[in-house]
């Protein structure tokens, strides 16, 4: 029986870079999750009898919100909900499930790399029928709806047993609890040469960071590819990720880094984030930046069966280094530069204009799903290592010798007071027109702008996507504020310097970026505005 529950709007439900992310305590307010989920359903058409996929990264509140979402979906006329066992679906596996089940869309419950637990973060994202994050037109309509919502719909029904595979009825709707891993693992076997990876006899360490990739990595790496038991570390998803940040970078995955720099390091090391869409790649004694990883994967993808016909194009987010551009140029492929966030890649992938996409924040993926995909990136690297019979270090050096090297780092200033961060960005935007031609810290500014993107498939325009300062000679600094944080503001400063092939290809990144760091502060007044003398996280 459908029941209508009166509600009033929560005014802070604007989706950010990747869905709505807030503290768990915010989501626990009366009607908070309900309003948001109902608002999603109020702005999408075609619900009657349709299939909806629901899954999350297993963090605290995952199960409780899934139970609510199932009842709300039943009351809104969906015919079927497909949910991962235990409420678990990695973000790429959810994307794949939406596609193979021809679902209308899906609810992905995650705050990704943000910490989890009763006092930490939770999130809800809506993905559309192509399996990708809802584009801005949908999230704008959704946000507008959250500001006027006055009721949500539900049915009276018991909680579904999420741990038992099979079908049950909730109201007039079927709920199907499915294996979270099987379909995804089958897709990976189609794309990659599992026998070749097996035969290569590589050793590896994979840190699942007590997050969602544990079951996926264990099944694929240990069970199907034959890597030794224990290859997957921290492989059991925990509601609080063991108290850690499930963010695969050199700060939060430092144990993996130490393993990979040790004398007895395995051949290959990798980690993934809370919801399984990011990847960290570290070869034996060689860290590969995410921007370089994108370029190296694109240059070698044809070695994997799923990409043997070559690529249609490459896309990267604007702050991602231009390393991939050089590969595109050599291969004669189009390169697309999009705003930050995977939702901007969806149209390019659907249109067959790009095959591989990536972001500097450790996200890489392809047209196999419509999300970035951590385990996919790991498997493509393994396939390339197996096919080339060379180490990560050798492949990286060879790449730089061919294309030159884009030295790259991101400096994050976290938990800055929002007013201060806004003032920094406003001041910067105010002086963009005056910067070209001036010299700062020995670097001459060639161009300065606020990045805007016109989607080539539908002409939609997204403005104010980050301030770019381009120096003569190809170096660059980009400033933008994070759209995934849950307290204060995070200022991200992206630093890049290009060294042509044949020159300084194996220098320390700090040293190579020192003048750009100095110029960034001189241009934006980071210390003056934030009262911080150093970034909190350098990746
Ligand atoms: C960050 C990253 C961005 C990524 C987004 C979601 O966004 O910079 O590249 O797409 O997180 O990733 P922001 O707005 O905080 O810079 V995930 O793994 O959180 O779904
Ligand atoms: Co993520």
Measured from the alpha carbon of residue 21, the closest ligand is 1
Each residue's pLDDT tens digit, 225-281: 999 999 999 999 999 999 999 999 998 999 999 999 999 999 999 999 999 999 999
| Closest protein CA for atom 6 of ligand 1 | 18
Residue ranges and CATH numbers for the domains of the chain are 2-180 (3.40.120.10), 184-403 (3.40.120.10), 405-538 (3.30.310.50)
Q: End-to-end alpha-carbon separation of the chain, Å? A: 52
pLDDT at 293: 98
Residue 264 contacts by C-beta under 8 Å, 6 or more apart in sequence? none
Each residue's pLDDT tens digit, 30-50: 999 999 999 999 999 999 999
Distance CA 56, CA 93 (A): 10
Distance 406 CA to ligand 2 centre (A): 24
| Listed residue (474, 451, 458, 248) closest to 340, CA to CA | 451
- Ion ligand 2: residues, CB < 5 A: 112, 273, 275, 277-278
Measured from the alpha carbon of residue 484, the closest ligand is 1
Res 325 pLDDT > 90: yes
Distance 274 CA to ligand 2 centre (A): 6
| Closest protein CA for atom 1 of ligand 1 | 484
Res 367 pLDDT > 80: yes
Q: Within a 10 A sphere around the Cβ of 457, how many other Cβ atoms?
A: 12
Distance 341 CA to ligand 1 centre (A): 6
| Listed residue (301, 322, 339) closest to 451, CA to CA | 339
Bridge partner residues of 176 (DSSP): 82, 167
Closest atom of ligand 1 relative to the 341 alpha carbon = 10
| Closest protein CA for atom 13 of ligand 1 | 482
Bridge partner residues of 356 (DSSP): 314, 366
Res 503 pLDDT > 80: no
Q: What is the mean pLDDT of residues 322-347?
A: 97
| Closest protein CA for atom 10 of ligand 1 | 341
Distance 483 CA to ligand 1 centre (A): 7
> Which residue of 241, 253, 363, 414 sits with most ligand 1 atoms within 8 Å of its CB, as the best mutation to test the pocket?
363
DSSP state at residue 237? -
Q: Within a 10 A sphere around the Cβ of 297, how many other Cβ atoms?
A: 28
Pocket of ligand 1 (CB under 6 A): 17-18, 112-113, 273, 277-278, 317, 340-342, 359, 361, 363, 482-484, 492
Q: What is the 3-state secondary structure (H, E, C) of 80-95?
A: EEEEEEEEECCHHHHH
pLDDT at 502: 79
| Closest protein CA for atom 4 of ligand 1 | 341
Distance 482 CA to ligand 1 centre (A): 8
| Closest protein CA for atom 8 of ligand 1 | 361
Distance 197 CA to ligand 2 centre (A): 26
> Which residue of 340, 376, 489 sits with most ligand 1 atoms within 8 Å of its CB, as the best mutation to test the pocket?
340
Closest atom of ligand 1 relative to the 480 alpha carbon = 16
Q: Give percent of the chain with pLDDT exceeding 90.
A: 96
Closest atom of ligand 1 relative to the 112 alpha carbon = 19
* DSSP-assigned letters across all residues of 267-280: SEEEEE-TTS-BEE
Distance CA 449, CA 421 (A): 18
pLDDT at 505: 85
Each residue's pLDDT tens digit, 440-473: 999 999 999 999 999 999 999 999 999 999 999 8
| Listed residue (318, 283, 486, 496) closest to 393, CA to CA | 283
Q: Which of 39, 90, 112, 293 is catalytic?
A: 112
pLDDT at 58: 96
Distance 18 CA to ligand 1 centre (A): 7
Please return the burial class of 488, using the count of CB atoms within 10 Å of its CB with bins 0-12, 13-18 and 19+. middle
As a whole number, the mean pLDDT across the chain is 97
Each residue's pLDDT tens digit, 464-485: 999 999 999 889 999 999 988 8
* Least confident segment among 197-206, 367-376, 529-538: 529-538
> Which residue of 14, 15, 17, 278 sits with most ligand 1 atoms within 8 Å of its CB, as the best mutation to test the pocket?
17
pLDDT at 123: 98
Closest atom of ligand 1 relative to the 360 alpha carbon = 9
> Catalytic site residue 112?
yes
Bridge partner residues of 123 (DSSP): 21
């Amino acid at each position: 029986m459908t029941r209508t529950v009166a509600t009033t709007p929560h005014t802070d439900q604007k989706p950010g870079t990747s869905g709505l992310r807030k503290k768990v305590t915010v989501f626990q307010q009366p009607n908070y999750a309900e309003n948001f989920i109902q608002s999603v359903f109020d702005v999408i058409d075609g619900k009657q009898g349709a299939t909806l996929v629901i899954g999350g990264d297993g963090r605290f509140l995952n199960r409780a919100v899934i139970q609510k979402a199932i009842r709300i979906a039943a009351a809104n006329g969906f015919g079927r909900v497909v949910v991962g066992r235990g409420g678990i679906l990695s973000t790429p596996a959810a994307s794949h499930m939406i596609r193979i089940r021809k679902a209308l869309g899906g609810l992905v419950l995650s705050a990704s790399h943000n910490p989890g637990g009763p006092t930490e973060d939770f999130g809800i994202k809506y993905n559309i029928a192509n399996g990708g994050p809802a584009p801005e037109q949908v999230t704008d309509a959704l946000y507008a709806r959250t500001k006027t919502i006055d009721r949500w719909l539900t049915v009276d029904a018991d909680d579904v047993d999420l741990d038992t595979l099979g079908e049950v009825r909730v109201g007039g709707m079927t709920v199907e609890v499915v294996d979270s891993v099987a379909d995804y693992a089958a897709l990976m076997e189609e794309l990659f040469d599992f026998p070749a990876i097996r035969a290569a006899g590589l050793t590896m360490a994979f840190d699942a960071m007590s997050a969602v990739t544990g079951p996926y990595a264990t099944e694929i790496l240990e069970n199907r590819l034959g890597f030794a038991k224990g290859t997957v570390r921290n492989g059991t998803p925990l509601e609080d990720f063991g108290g850690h940040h499930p963010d695969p970078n050199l700060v939060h995955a430092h144990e993996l880094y130490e393993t990979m720099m040790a004398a007895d390091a395995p051949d290959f090391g990798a980690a993934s984030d809370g919801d399984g869409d990011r990847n960290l790649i570290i070869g034996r004694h060689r860290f590969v930046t995410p921007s370089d990883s994108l370029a190296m994967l694109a240059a070698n993808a044809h070695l994997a069966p799923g990409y043997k016909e070559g690529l249609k194009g490459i896309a990267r987010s604007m702050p991602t280094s231009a390393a991939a551009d050089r590969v595109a140029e050599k291969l004669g492929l189009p390169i697309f530069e999009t705003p930050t966030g995977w939702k901007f890649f969806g149209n390019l992938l659907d249109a067959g204009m790009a095959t591989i996409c990536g972001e500097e924040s450790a996200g890489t993926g392809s047209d196999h799903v419509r999300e970035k995909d951590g385990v996919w990136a790991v498997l493509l690297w393994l396939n390339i290592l197996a096919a080339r019979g060379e180490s990560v270090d050798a492949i990286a050096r060879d790449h730089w010798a061919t294309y030159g090297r884009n030295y790259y780092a991101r400096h994050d200033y976290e938990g800055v007071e929002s007013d201060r961060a806004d003032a920094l960005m406003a001041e910067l935007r105010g002086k963009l027109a005056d910067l070209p031609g001036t010299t700062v810290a020995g670097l001459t500014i060639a161009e300065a702008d606020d990045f805007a993107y016109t989607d080539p498939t539908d002409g939609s325009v997204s403005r104010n996507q980050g301030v770019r300062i381009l120096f003569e000679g190809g170096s660059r600094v980009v400033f933008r504020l994070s759209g995934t944080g849950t307290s204060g503001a995070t200022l991200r400063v992206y630093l890049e310097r290009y060294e042509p092939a044949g020159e300084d290809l194996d220098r320390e990144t700090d040293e190579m970026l020192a003048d750009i760091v100095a110029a960034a502060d001189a241009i934006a007044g980071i210390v003056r505005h934030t009262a911080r003398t150093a970034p909190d996280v350098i990746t």
